[in-house]
């Protein structure tokens, strides 16, 4: 008896990257040379174990942007920033970074045939991110100062020298990052009730709000979410209402004391009826471990601030609400933190025989 297998007849088209997929909603033309690594299309993952901690029929999803090509949400903005820089004839780009921006800027700049210069705060960038920037070919300059000082310097450099600034003060960055909101609505069929997001330089919360508003205006969703931003307690200028001159937190990606998009973020808070809250490093690490050990999702510590914050204010979440937490970066960006703060056992020096292994396993 011969079994005949069905022939695949799917007309499904391969993902084309953010700019081609959302071209009608982005400031590009037929003359824009698209520099892409096929970023975007990251999964919206239900997290039932976390939702169970809230109860009351609340649904919780995480938007796992750590699965972008360089491992963070920065790729969304960088495909736009680098494409527009190339369109304008730029030969070099520059950014200040706590790590993720440097990796994305280096990857996209080199793919676009441009030099990439990166200023980082010496000693405060996770090694996974530094490794990326170096291998992609960035020219990395570590300064004796924090991120906020690095940003001041690169802004001045872009005004005085032939380099294009690709930090989130570049408006094309936010245009690319707003597509995260498009994808959330495309999957859910509407905007969520709450959008929880880590806040460092405050560009991403502003970009998501842009995306939701644009989709509502064209009828893709009929509501807007309440935007809830969460900062590390040691780097919480938006919560405290004033810059933090010496920000400190284990969540290095949001270790920023004077956000460049401060005014935009405060506007988002007001317009959406949202709020900003601070979460401690201990709360961030609890959420970090929870995501990995109960949901199988490994994000970097700063990403876990969105889940830590949501759980901190869970009593405020409406019954049967839909909540999306944005996870901005991959856990492999910062393996040192994972090893240092894991609660799992790591048994070493075991003899190479079955009895010894069984004994170590408790059998």
The whole-number average pLDDT for the span 170-182 is 97
pLDDT tens digits, 233-253 = 999 999 999 999 999 999 999
Read off the pTM.
0.93
The whole-number average pLDDT for the span 126-154 is 92
Cβ-contact 278, 254 below 8 angstroms: no
pLDDT tens digits, 283-340 = 999 999 999 999 999 999 999 999 999 999 999 999 999 999 999 999 999 999 999 9
Q: pLDDT value at position 325?
A: 98
What is the token pair recorded at 192?
């969520």
- 3-state SS track over the chain: CCCCCCCCCCCCCCCCCHHHHCHHHCCCCCCCCCCCCCCCCCCEEECHHHHHHHCCCCEEEEEEHHHCCCCECHHHHHHHHHHHHHHCCCCEEEEECCCHHHHHHHHHHHHCCCEEEEEEECCCCCHHHHHHHHHHCCEEEEECCCHHHHHHHHHHHHHHCCCEECCCCCHHHHHHHCHHHHHHHHHHCCCCCEEEEECCCCHHHHHHHHHHHHHHHCCCCCCCCEEEEEEEHHHCHHHHCCCCCCCCCCCHHHCCCCCCCHHHHHHHHHHHCCEEEEECHHHHHHHHHHHHHHHCCCECCCCHHHHHHHHHCHHHCCCCCEEEEEECEEHHHCHHHHHHHCCCCCCCCCCCCHHHHHHHCCC
Report the chain's terminal Cα–Cα distance, integer Å.
48
- The pLDDT confidence band at residue 345, using thresholds 50, 70 and 90, is confident
């Amino acid at each position: 008896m011969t079994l005949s297998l069905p022939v695949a007849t799917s007309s499904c088209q391969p993902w084309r990257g953010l700019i081609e997929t959302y071209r009608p909603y982005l400031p590009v033309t037929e003359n824009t040379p698209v520099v892409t690594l096929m970023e975007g299309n990251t999964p919206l993952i239900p997290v039932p174990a976390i939702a169970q901690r809230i109860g009351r029929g609340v649904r919780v999803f995480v938007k796992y942007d750590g699965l972008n090509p360089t491992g963070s949400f920065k790729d969304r903005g960088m495909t736009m920033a680098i494409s527009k820089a190339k369109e304008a004839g730029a030969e070099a780009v520059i950014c200040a970074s706590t790590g993720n921006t440097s990796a994305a800027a280096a990857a996209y700049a080199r793919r676009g045939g441009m030099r990439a210069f990166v200023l980082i705060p010496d000693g405060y960038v996770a090694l996974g991110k530094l490794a990326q920037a170096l291998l992609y070919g960035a020219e990395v300059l570590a300064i004796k100062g924090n991120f906020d000082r690095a940003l001041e310097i690169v802004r001045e450099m872009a005004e005085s020298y032939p380099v294009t600034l690709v930090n989130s003060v570049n408006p094309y960055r936010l245009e690319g990052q707003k597509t995260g909101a498009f994808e959330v609505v495309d999957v859910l069929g509407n905007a969520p009730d709450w959008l929880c997001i880590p806040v460092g330089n405050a560009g991403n919360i502003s970009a998501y709000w842009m995306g939701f508003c644009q989709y509502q205006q064209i009828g893709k969703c009929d509501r807007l979410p309440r935007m809830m931003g969460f900062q590390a307690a040691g780097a919480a200028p938006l919560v405290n209402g004033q810059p933090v001159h010496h920000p400190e937190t284990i969540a290095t990606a949001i270790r920023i004391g004077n956000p460049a998009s401060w005014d935009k973020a405060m506007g988002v808070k007001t317009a959406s009826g949202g709020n900003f809250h601070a979460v401690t490093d201990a709360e961030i690490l609890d959420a970090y471990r929870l995501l990995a050990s109960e949901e199988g999702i490994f994000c970097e510590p700063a990403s876990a601030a969105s889940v830590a914050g949501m759980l901190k204010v869970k009593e405020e979440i409406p019954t049967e609400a839909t909540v999306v937490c944005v996870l901005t970066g991959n856990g492999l960006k910062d393996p040192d933190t994972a090893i240092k703060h894991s609660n799992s056992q790591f048994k070493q020096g075991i003899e190479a025989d079955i009895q010894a292994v069984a004994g170590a396993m408790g059998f």
